[in-house]
A and B are shown apart, each in its own frame.
Chain A
Amino acid sequence: MRSEVLLNTVGLWSGYGGKPVLQGVDINVREGEIVAVIGRNGVGKSTLMKSLIGLLARDKGSVIFRGEEIDTVPAYKRARLGIGYVPQGRDVFPRLSVMENLLVGESINGQRASRDQIESIFSYFPILKERRNQPAGTMSGGQQQQLAIARVLMGKPALILLDEPSEGIQPNIVQDIARIMVELNKSTGVTIVFVEQNIDMIRAMAQRCYVIDKGRITNEIMPETLEDRDAVRRYLAV
């Protein structure tokens, strides 16, 4: 069974204030895949995510979603195409309650989430149900990460972009999140693209990995490759 390409980029250049960070990135993601983009600090992983959702304008090349170029589509309309962006550092709305944060996520598909849908999200993240009236800014990093993921699930996205989900989070929560993402992928077929440096998370989630270095994709590897210490050093070490 070969599925359709959901998202791809063609020679994507992007950066900040005329300084290029991405220098011709080509990736291909098919529907239902879980793909990791791995690499050292400062090689352009977050820049790639921001360029995909449209928070950063591209300089050259294209982002293509479901076969359509979306380079001139503003971020909020890209989200409404079915892309759920979970930013680095979570960026929950600190003075909104957990429930209110979730309601903002409904803007992705513009539909009220049903009671069943909310209950099913809470079944993955029970801590959020317990704290649903608490301001999001008072929660721990791991809880905020769960909230940021739950927030995009409210809008039933076809694609979830996760920017370093393990950053600053306890190892056991990292494992939980990886397991939940794999479950979601299996049960709903949601496609997941994530950037990450944490080997455990990459190995627990990814079906294949792009290695990014100095703004270009330099390799495509299978996650098992990272069982080898030399490979880890080559692709990820500082």
Chain B
Amino acid sequence: MTVYYTLFTFLYQTGDAFAFLVLSACGLAIIFGMMGVINLAHGEFIMCGAYVCAASARAGLPLPLAVLAGALAAGAAGMLIERIVIRPLYDRPLDTIVATWGVSMIVTQSTLILLGSTMPGTGTPFGSFAVGPYSYSIYRVVLMGAALATLGLLWLGFTRTRFGVLARATIQVPHIAQALGVNTGLVYSLTFGLGAALAGLAGGLYAPTMTLVPTMGSAFVVEAFVTVVVGGADIFLGTAPAALVLGIIKAALTSWQGQLAGQIGLLVAVIIVIRILPRGISGWILRERA
């Protein structure tokens, strides 16, 4: 029986790591993949989602609605920042790195000044369940479901809706989309807003599981970047498989040698992938297919 318990623990940890990687990376992946913008303020959109979620939950909003409020707040902040900071820099991709890094520092420090060094959180709901001698958090399983649901909804959104088709057209040949009547400025604005809202969603979903501090975004950002670099620019062909592979690596190394080994394993994996697949998993798949 112990073999099964160990196997279940491994699956649970892989699923947990997968969910964390998918949810933290998909907003970053959409903004990078669709717009070519490397958004260093990604962590701050996550923090925004977490703070708004925790504040709404403590004000009495049910948790699912509080998570949604966090996502919407981050999305609105994203559209505002796209309009004032990113838009003038579309033909200067390297400068967007510096600009979003600046946004990140301003937001972190302002939050520290205005709201203090921590913010009261909200407890983790649902309690736990036991398999054999070990007990597991039910909420973590909910997070795995949320990660899969997010991927599924994004896929439907980008392939089955009018906005999805126009967004993909805009990404592929922007000036022609424009010449065919597509308001590409609006498409970019909504895409950036969607990426920020997904970051906010990650923040809101993980808010009940962690301490809320102004720099909490950095806990997500490293893993988000690792996932996007390994996956490449395409969220479905890249981010999802990358999150799965990295989730397995992380879970295996963590259960074998502890948390630190898991983190080191991720970084080693990214270095190896950059050496052999410089355009990530999706770049490799698209090239094989072409």
Contact = CB atoms under 8 A, between A and B. Distances in A.
A75 B179 contact: yes
Interface in B164-190: 165-166, 168-169, 172-173, 175-184
B178 A75 contact: yes
Given A96-B165, A96-B169, A96-B172, A104 B177 contact: yes
B178 A55 contact: yes
Interface-centre pick from A91, A101, A107 (highest chain B CB count, 10 A): A107
B168 A96 contact: yes
A152 B169 CA distance: 14
Interface string A89-113: 0010111100011011101111000
Contacts of B182: 76, 104, 107
Given A93-B173, A94-B172, A104-B169, A76 B162 contact: no
Contacts of A75: 175, 178-179
A30 interface: no
B165 A85 contact: no
Interface residues of A, number: 29
B176 A91 contact: yes
Contacts of A54: 179
A44 interface: no
A117 to B, nearest CB: 16
A85 B176 CA distance: 8
Majority-rule SS of B interface residues: helix
Contact of B180 (A95, A100, A137, A152): A152
A107 B162 CA distance: 10
Nearest to A74: B178
B102 to A, nearest CB: 29
A87 B172 contact: no
Contact of A155 (B165, B166, B173, B180): B180
Contacts of A101: 169
A79 interface: yes
Contacts of A129: none
Contact of B179 (A53, A100, A103): A53
Given A80-B181, A107-B181, A155-B181, A100 B176 contact: no
Contacts of A45: none
Nearest to B186: A76
A151 interface: yes
A91 B181 contact: no
A76 B176 contact: no
A108 B169 CA distance: 14
Interface-centre pick from A74, A84, A104, A105 (highest chain B CB count, 10 A): A104
A41 B137 CA distance: 70
Contact of A76 (B168, B173, B184, B290): B184
A79 B172 contact: no
Contacts of B181: 76, 79-80, 107-110, 155
A94 B176 CA distance: 12
Contacts of A137: 290
B165 A87 contact: no
Interface string B242-268: 000000000000000000000000000
Contacts of B168: 93, 95-96, 100
A107 B164 CA distance: 13
A103 B178 contact: no
Given A76-B184, A95-B168, A103-B165, 10 more contacts: A75-B175, A75-B178, A76-B181, A84-B180, A87-B179, A91-B173, A93-B177, A100-B168, A101-B169, A105-B180
The 10 closest A-B pairs by CB, nearest first: A107-B181, A79-B181, A108-B181, A85-B179, A104-B169, A91-B176, A93-B172, A75-B178, A93-B169, A107-B182
Interface of B: 162, 165-166, 168-169, 172-173, 175-184, 290
25 contacts: A54-B179, A55-B178, A75-B179, A76-B181, A76-B182, A76-B183, A79-B178, A79-B180, A85-B179, A87-B176, A91-B173, A93-B172, A94-B172, A95-B168, A95-B172, A96-B165, A96-B169, A96-B172, A101-B169, A103-B162, A104-B169, A107-B177, A107-B180, A108-B180, A152-B180
